[in-house]
A and B are shown apart, each in its own frame.
Chain A
Amino acid sequence: MSVKQAHAPQLEGELVGRGRRDGNRLFKEWYAELDAAAAAGDPTAYVFVMGSAAEVLKAFDLNLVFPEINSLQMAVRKVSLDYLNKAEDYGYSTDVCGYVKADVGMHLDARKHPNGRIPKPSIVVATNMCNTYVKWVEIWQRMYGCKVFVLDIPGQRGIGWSTEPGSEQFENDRRYVQSQLEELIEACVAVTGRPFRIERLQENLAHVNLMAADWKAVLRLNQNIPAPFNAMADGLTYMGVLSAYRGTEAGARYMAELREEMEHKVRLGIGTIAEERFRLHGVGPACYPYFRRFLELFQDWGAVFVSTEYLAYAGGGLDLGIQFDVERPLESLAEQLLITGRRSMSNMFFSQDQLADTVRDWKADGIVYHSVKSCRTVSTGMADSREYLTRIKDVPSLFVESDLVDPRIWSEAQFKNRIDAYFEALGARKSAALVAAKG
């Protein structure tokens, strides 16, 4: 029986909001598994949301820990400051990425996370999608002596630069990525003592194929008016499942069901708030220590985040709807990692054209740039990209600053003032456009 048939007769009440409910349940289960793994001392890999190599690691039944998600959860649960303080007392500067520090604080506290115990790392895999990842893994290497693997994915070299599969340039980079994957497999065999079975990798790739196709569809369903989900709020839950359950049957099923829910909402015209007055595209993560308030400040104006860059880059490029060729698994994985990884990085380093396309396709009224102190990866070029888009494409935008994990950087009054002023101007602009259109 297909997923669609299974849920066809469900009542609307059960279908609407299912993605959030199931996402939260899956999340709890995942943390419970980690807690059990910590107790049993099972082999565990620490990985990052941007380029987790989950397809390979899960072929070895390694538990996956996502330190970024751990830190984010600390922030949402409003305990991040305790952990940040521990790391700063240990010696970390106030200017170091707060995700790193919250995590260090947790390790100094015997890996006690508000969601459960976190197992020790046996192997850690960092892509180069954020350079801080590479510094972060060195911290665990010192703490635990675990194996460190840096998976290097050469990114876009400059504006207007691109390569297609088959071209000499692409193949040079792909060969490099593929040989690293082979070395990662060797490292996993050594760390787990388990053999590598290519069929397991193929299975995982097939699950990702399903998940990616549905994820791409889910994101595009938000091009509808009203948008069926808030990319900044609900999107976070979806993204968590996408990362933690990547390459699994449960993950693929979840995404299929989510797609079904969103299609249903679109059919019935169900949005996220009573009246969708403004559609926004978000650049940068939210302020998670004040997540609810952060979202309310926008919702109070009838604004919905219809898309975010975060859902693109933090998904390691899955938004493109990856399709692996499972018959040539390693080659295809290398190829897709290169395409999607590169796209994730381009979203941060050369964002201007993709941003303009997203604004157009998602029918956004404007862009909200949230620059966060912790993350220079996403924040460094924001002001310039904003200036460029205003100048070249006349996209109205708001620029606010705080942090994604450190509550000390948040100033609600300042946020509110800027947000209010922005929507007043945006409202006037929309009215003027309406009048002009009526002619």
Chain B
Amino acid sequence: MLKRIFATLAALFALAAPAAAQSDAEWQAVVDAAKKEGKLVIYTATLGSTYHKAVFQAFEKKYGIRIELLEARASEIRERVRIEQAAGRFVGDVHHNGSTTTWLMTRDGNLQPHGAIPNVKNIVPPYAADDIRVPAEVISYALMVNRNIVKPADEPKGWKDILDPKWNGKILSDDMRALGGGAVFFVVMYDTFGKEFHEKLAAQKPVFSRDIANSERRVARGEFPLYLPFSLQDYNQLKGLPVKPLVPQEGRPYVRFDLATLKGAPHPNAARLFMNFYLEPEQQLVFANAGYNPVIGGVIEKVSDDLRPLLATKALGTTVPERQDAMLELAKQIYK
């Protein structure tokens, strides 16, 4: 019996070894072709992120492939890609944007299959890649309180705690009626707790704002004691201010950022190589230390002590692109 098992295993190894060698050779061909292309044009909706820039520079250094970066807001990136492609201008290679925009662009045919990428196998649920989209990093949402105003005993433990009358008129919120963190929060709370949660929250008279950087500072200055939803990737920038992020016990709403190859990309191999590089543990750790949730396993354990407990929480839910506009409309009705 034992002999038979060994024989089977030996046969399997004998078959697998050439396959691995073959795929190694294939991937090496992609790497060589990418280096020959020598350039990569990335369209990204992460404006001004130093962490992303660090990863881009690491890629340039490792492979000698120059990166050109076009940064703009999600809808601006999408419109530029759309009109460029309609006019027969195929300039960009990699598209890096939120999952809703990427879903819409996949539907509209602005993206093309990326081909096999070895590191895709390391992606862990609830994130998953397909022929077009590769999960890149994840924005996770929490609550933020002013430490000077909110005592530890008064901190919300669960999401429903913010419905307590003591928070009436004291909540500053990213606008739930517009695309962004507020809208993600709206959908996830609606799916988790139902419409009633929002009706009660609306009765708390939250103040809406659309300038995230300013909102966070308004809470730090004590204008409001509570802000929601707080993007964990802003945590590092606020260190030193009297604010504290809290992930309620039910978990954190999240929104995924995706990588994809733009249709007619002039440097498709460099694009593929870049996506593979992006999923390496070193790069994912850069994002995790910046406050993003990584999309591969074995990274959170290595994250800095203050961020680890926040990131190692349950992923509660995310937006559904198909329902996005209907949900925005519902938010408008509830939060007048």
Q: Do these two chains really belong together in a complex?
A: no
Binding site for B on A (CB under 8 A): none
